[in-house]
């Protein structure tokens, strides 16, 4: 296994461009370390608090799956990290970890959506789209905190994350007719795609179509900039999935997040 990436790795990820969008973006240089054989398996750590991405070739043989398991076990990654993997690895990892006295949990079943044709929402929320600026760092950090807590994400430096998101320039609020920031969303770009994330509405403002309207407007901006919008959604949260499908998003794959804790 090599600890560098090259054009072979980017070519491999073309077959999983949507579900492995984040890994593709990380391989542009935003990773802490990487292992790859440039043909069948890629393992990548971005940073503390974030899941490790494990890509395996489609219809991976038992040998490849066993190889991935050995890599994770040798680096003791189960103990400290969540892992994003394809389904065949989930069952193998759970079975073999149990045999070694360890228990692996599925933390999330993520659907990867892509939007080729955007559809305007039937019910539009009142208010307007607003691009966040440096003066909005505290307000954004507050929403990020709520977002992370609801998803039981591991603690991070949320203020620093808010500062970085605003510096990147593609993070937005939806402000209601009274000018209150009620919902947020951002997008990041790689390989011709724009990944929407941080779609969150404050609890007291929910069920008023703010998130759907904001997701539509941000998707529209991404489309107009020449990108294909995509996003990840929890497969078990039907309201969000219905919302995205109404906007024209189509499922393009799945990623499972697993961990020992």
- With a cut of 90, say whether residue 48 has pLDDT above it: no
The domain made up of 115-252 is a member of CATH 3.40.50.2000? no
- With a cut of 80, say whether residue 154 has pLDDT above it: no
CATH 3.40.630.30 residue ranges in the chain?
115-252
pLDDT value, residue 128: 97
- Residue with the larger pLDDT of the pair 30 and 223: 223
pLDDT value, residue 2: 94
**Could you tell me the CA-to-CA distances from 15 to 18, 19, 47, 81, 217 in Å, in that order?**
9, 10, 25, 26, 28
Both structure tokens of 258:
């697993």
**Per-residue pLDDT tens over the stretch 99-144:** 888 899 998 999 999 999 999 999 999 999 999 999 999 999 999 9
Question: Mean of the pLDDT values across residues 222-243?
Answer: 95
Q: What angle do CA 145, 150, 154 make, to 5 degrees?
A: 65
> Quick one: how far is CA 251 from the chain centroid?
14
Q: Are 176 and 148 in contact (CB under 8 A)?
A: no
Query: 47: pLDDT confidence band, cut at 50, 70 and 90?
Result: confident
pLDDT value, residue 79: 79
Question: Mean of the pLDDT values across residues 75-88?
Answer: 90
* Residue 221: strand, helix, or coil: helix
Pairing verdict, β 83-85 and 52-56: parallel
DSSP state of 204: G
pLDDT value, residue 38: 98
Share of the chain above pLDDT 70, in %: 99
Write down the pTM of the prediction: 0.90
Closest C-alpha to 222, from 252, 254, 196:
196
Query: 155: pLDDT confidence band, cut at 50, 70 and 90?
Result: low
């Amino acid at each position: 296994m090599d600890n560098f990436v090259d054009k072979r790795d980017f070519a491999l990820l073309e077959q999983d461009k949507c579900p492995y969008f984040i890994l593709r973006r990380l391989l542009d240089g935003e990773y802490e370390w990487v292992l790859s054989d440039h043909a069948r398996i890629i393992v990548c750590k971005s940073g503390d608090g974030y899941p490790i991405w494990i890509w395996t070739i489609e219809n991976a043989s038992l040998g490849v799956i066993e190889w991935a398991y050995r890599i994770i076990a040798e680096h003791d990654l189960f103990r400290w990290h969540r892992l994003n993997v394809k389904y065949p690895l989930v069952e193998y990892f759970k079975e073999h970890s149990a045999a070694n006295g360890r228990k692996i949990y599925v933390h999330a079943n993520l659907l990867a959506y892509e939007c080729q044709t955007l559809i305007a929402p039937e019910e539009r929320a009142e208010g307007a789209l607003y691009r966040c600026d440096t003066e909005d760092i505290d307000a954004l950090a507050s929403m990020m905190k709520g977002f992370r807590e609801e998803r039981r994400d591991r603690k991070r430096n949320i203020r620093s994350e808010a500062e970085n998101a605003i510096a990147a320039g593609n993070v937005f609020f939806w402000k209601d007719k009274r000018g209150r920031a009620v919902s947020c969303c951002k997008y990041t770009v790689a390989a011709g795609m724009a990944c929407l994330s941080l779609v969150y509405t404050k609890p007291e403002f929910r069920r008023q179509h703010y998130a759907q309207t904001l997701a539509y407007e941000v998707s529209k901006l991404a489309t107009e900039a020449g990108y294909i919008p995509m996003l990840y959604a929890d497969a078990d949260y039907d309201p969000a999935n219905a919302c995205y499908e109404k906007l024209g998003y189509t499922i393009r794959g799945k990623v499972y997040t697993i961990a020992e804790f």
